[in-house]
Amino acid sequence: MIPQSFIQELLNRLDVVDVVERYVPLKKAGANYVACCPFHNEKTPSFSVSPTKQFYHCFGCGAHGSAISFVMEHQGLSFPEAVEDLAKHIGLPVPHETTHREQETRAAQAAGLPEMMQQALHYYREQLKHSETAVHYFKGRGVSGEIAARFGLGYAPDGWQNLATLFPDYTESKTLLETGLIIENDEGRRYDRFRDRVMFPILNARGNVIGFGGRVLGAGEPKYLNSPETVLFQKGQELYGLFQARSAIRASGRVLVVEGYMDVVALVQHGVGYAVATLGTATTPVHVQKLLRAADEIIFCFDGDAAGRRAAWRALENGLAALTDSSRLLFLFLPDGEDPDSYVRQVGQAGFEASYANALTFSQFLFKELTRETNLTTEEGRAKLVQTAKPMIEKIAAPALQLLIRKRLAELTGLSTAELETLLPRAQVAPRAQAPHIKPRRAPSLPRQLLRMVLQQPDLARGVAIEGLDEESLDARTLRALLALLNRDPHITNHPAILEAFRGAPEETVLSEVAGETLAWDGDFDVVQEFQGALEQLCASARQKRIDGLLALAKIQPLSAEQKQALTRELSAGRVS
């Protein structure tokens, strides 16, 4: 783990304008800088970067965050990777409060695992030049030399201990064993994991080799063999071809997810450069989150058989929580007997991309599968549909999408939206942030006003506790969480640090929206005075609600002695006129 105090120091040393401008050309516009958003396609700039507040905000797609967030989203890096990248850029060493897993990874790096993997890559690539069979295989699949080099394709020759020529300590090295390149049997004898296979290097977000996939030449099982899980390689977190596809994903705004190495290579060979593949495992929530950081549209491409539908359903289930109202999940099922490799070679880039018109949207696929074996002509069938859909709908975090899914469910079951609400209560969702030039239809709530001012000047919250704020709106819950954070952690002194502290939490969405609203402020008011006034008004309003509740209760039944004392205390504190 990286200490919060270091995150604050890093953000203090960085200028978000400089960080963003490494990747996106910015233009000065008043106090801020603007550009066309790098996270969605647009012609008119709605992406704003504030040098004073040290965050960016897009009024088109809602993208928002600090310098760390920007590098994560734009480069597809994890949080630790983004911190390491930024810290390295300014020459700041990163301290670690290490977990056991992180200790293992750092020990592996110190022991030279990455270097060993890189050596193996060069070895397999060199061996490809000397294998007519392997070269013939790739040429027969239409792979050019340029694409082979781009993906680092190679060949592991037949034989039990070929890597012994590369690693002199082959029979003794514990580190070599930890790479997964070799296997040790029960008798202590070691041998190469990959033998007589064409090799596909697996790269992480930084372009480092973390594993390999090998396809057998000719007959043999398993057809595909992957590196085992190691401290460098976790299958459920990595995607084949993502490093090579980054620029194409950014340019197209979409990513195509397939299941095989050769599918990716063939697609890129034919111009579909935004293809990636899962690594012999089902699509995981981490995969979906990583892909949605890279693009708004994900197209899952599967075979049209039962196995393909099961894989697609798993992808849908694991994408529920990560979906936003600006993102799209599509499910493309190929004709019988075809896979992406064979199909793109038949129809080319244009034909393959034209097939996207036949893809099912998230909602279409969801209801198609939910109703596949459900008889909607009976009350029992419709009741079953509600119960089957309920846990899935509850996981959808995108507010507008969830509402529309609910309406569609109501239509299918013949229920009114109110009736469905009683069976499937809807959690409160945050409203979408408004652009600064649009006047809100109504004044923001007192909690939201206070959130704006605390983000503007976090020190206002030190020592502040709002007594009796039991309101359950998202704004109120976020305000309580923010006050608690600022009062327990003195290292957090500005908005970017606040946003990083709430990364992945429910409050992050509200804080991002509120921060976007502050970009419209002209700053011509006394924040401290306004904060005190709003705080007093909020406390008085909460007190009045408690008074009204006790008075209403008194009309129904006699108050207890404790309730009478509470009413006396509240009344003596004063009423709100």
219-231 confidence digits (pLDDT tens)? 788 899 999 998 8
Which is more confident, 329 or 577? Answer: 329
Tens digits of per-residue pLDDT, 422-442?
888 865 444 433 333 333 334
Question: How confident is the model at residue 298, as a pLDDT?
Answer: 96
3-state helix, strand, coil in the chain (%, to 5): 50, 10, 35
Domain over 446-572 is classified CATH 1.10.860.10: yes
Tens digits of per-residue pLDDT, 329-380?
999 999 988 999 999 999 999 999 999 999 999 999 999 999 998 999 999 9
Question: How confident is the model at residue 559, as a pLDDT?
Answer: 84
Number of H helices, E strands in the chain: 24, 16
Does residue 258 sit in helix, strand or coil? strand
CATH number for the region 4-89 comes to 3.90.580.10
* Whether residue 196 has pLDDT greater than 90: yes
**Nearest-CA neighbor of 182 among 174, 192, 172?**
192
Check: CB of residue 60 under 8 Å from CB of residue 40.
yes
Tens digits of per-residue pLDDT, 266-278?
999 999 999 999 9
Classified by CATH at the fold level, domain 371-423 comes out as: Pheromone ER-1 (1.20.50)
Cis check: omega of the bond before 38, within 30 degrees of 0: no
Distance of CA 183 to the CA centre of its chain: 35
**Nearest-CA neighbor of 499 among 198, 73, 55?**
55
Angle at 274 between CA 202 and CA 56, to 5 degrees: 100
* Whether residue 325 has pLDDT greater than 80: yes
Question: How confident is the model at residue 105, as a pLDDT?
Answer: 55
Spans of all domains in the chain: 4-89, 107-233, 237-368, 371-423, 446-572
| 262-266, 322-326, 390-394, 438-442: segment of lowest average pLDDT | 438-442
Per CATH, the homologous superfamily of domain 107-233 is DNA primase, catalytic core, N-terminal domain (3.90.980.10)
Q: Strand pairing of 254-258 and 297-303? A: parallel
pLDDT band at 493; cut points 50, 70, 90: confident
CATH architecture of 237-368: 3-Layer(aba) Sandwich (3.40)
Q: Give the list of residues 6+ apart from residue 103 with CB closer than 8 angstroms, or none.
A: none
Intra-chain end-to-end CA distance of the chain, in Å: 51
State how far the Cα of 365 lies from the Cα of 328, in Å rounded to an integer.
12
| 49-63, 124-138, 197-211, 496-510: segment of lowest average pLDDT | 496-510
State mean pLDDT over 239-261: 93
Whether the predicted model's global pTM rises above the 0.75 cut = no
Question: How confident is the model at residue 566, as a pLDDT?
Answer: 79
Question: How confident is the model at residue 72, as a pLDDT?
Answer: 84
Token pair belonging to 427: 């959690």
* Whether residue 262 has pLDDT greater than 80: yes
Check: CB of residue 540 under 8 Å from CB of residue 576.
yes
Mean pLDDT for the chain overall: 85
* Whether residue 534 has pLDDT greater than 80: no
State how far the Cα of 330 lies from the Cα of 335, in Å rounded to an integer.
16
Question: How confident is the model at residue 390, as a pLDDT?
Answer: 92
* Whether residue 102 has pLDDT greater than 60: no
Question: How confident is the model at residue 539, as a pLDDT?
Answer: 75
Token pair belonging to 419: 């009736």
Radius of gyration, CA atoms only, the chain: 28
Question: How confident is the model at residue 76, as a pLDDT?
Answer: 73
- Asked if 237-368 and 446-572 have one fold, the answer is no
* Whether residue 257 has pLDDT greater than 70: yes
State mean pLDDT over 408-412: 94
Token pair belonging to 135: 């070269």
